[in-house]
Structure 1
Amino acid sequence: MSLPTEAAEALRTFQGAAGWEQRARLLMQFGDRLAPLNDADKCDANRVHGCESQMWLVGELHDGRWQFAAASDARLIRGLVALLLVRVNGLTAAELRQVDLPDWFDQLGLSRQLSPSRSNGLNAVLQRMNELAE
């Protein structure tokens, strides 16, 4: 499965980074670019459970392709989720089910920084995306 354009650009950016410090800066920048959710969307129905930090996710279907938006109170998580969103936005429900989260973060060079709790949280986000897409 080919990568969405934004995901391919993110991958090139991260693979060109010189070491962890530069990747960490890029991660924060991606998180800062995440469009804010409005307060109405930050409700319990949109909350992703399984994350240690507060996390909200909304999704909409446009012409058979999913567009997700998310927010988190944790800066690092916002960056990770922003990278997840560039990977999944624009996919069909069937393509979404095929996303390999560990492989994506491994390609970005970020898998070592994914603590078990962060991994669980991101898996919870992806699982919630799949639930919305069903």
Structure 2
Amino acid sequence: MAQAAFEEVVEDFEFLDDWEDRYRMVIEMGKAMDPLPEALKVPATKVDGCASQVWLHPQIDAGIYHFQGESDAMIVRGLIALLHRLYDGLPVSQVAAVDARAELGRLGLHDHLSAQRSNGLRAMIDRIREQAAAAN
């Protein structure tokens, strides 16, 4: 089951018939995110497997998974914002149970992302799962 913040996105997407409007919404979500401090854009937080530059910085507090992220590509920043709504605030023990592919599929993303973007999204999900597993 997705977090309430992600469910809100699903509901918002239901009102947008045109994929271009959905695409714009994802980009706007990315623009609304706080930037990742430059000091956190280091090799340890960089996600390999993405065509663009992507950094994910985990923060585990009392067994709860939080993260910050950023990318140099606007659509990827939006994908990070979606993942943030999906994972941020979950107990680390529940992160692996989230079927991100199915949840994001509810938004119709799979049909509209290039193969490179899909691979990058998969790499980000894998990184989030690894970070939570390491903290669990």
The TM-score, its normalising length taken from structure 2, stands at 0.91
Corresponding residue for 1:18?
17
Q: For residue 51 of structure 2, give the secondary structure of its aligned residue in structure 1.
A: coil
Residue 63 of structure 1 and its aligned partner are, at CA, apart by: 2.3
Superposition deviation, residue 7 in structure 1:
0.8
Once the two structures are superposed, residues 53-88 of structure 1 have per-residue CA deviations (whole angstroms, 9 ceiling, x without a partner) of: 000010111221101110000011111111111001
Query: Matched residue of 2:56: which SS?
Result: strand
Q: What is the aligned-residue RMSD (CA, Å)?
A: 1.2
Q: Find the counterpart in structure 2 of residue 126 from structure 1.
A: 125
Identity %: 37
Q: Which residue number corresponds to residue 31 of structure 1?
A: 30
The aligned residue for residue 66 of structure 2 is 67
Q: For structure 2, which runs of at least 5 residues remain unmatched after alignment?
A: none
Runs of 4+ in 1 over 4 A off after TM superposition: none
Determine the structure 1 residue equivalent to 2:4: 5
Gaps of 5+ in 1: none
Q: Where in structure 2 are the equivalents of 1:71-110 lying within 5 Å?
A: 71-110=70-109
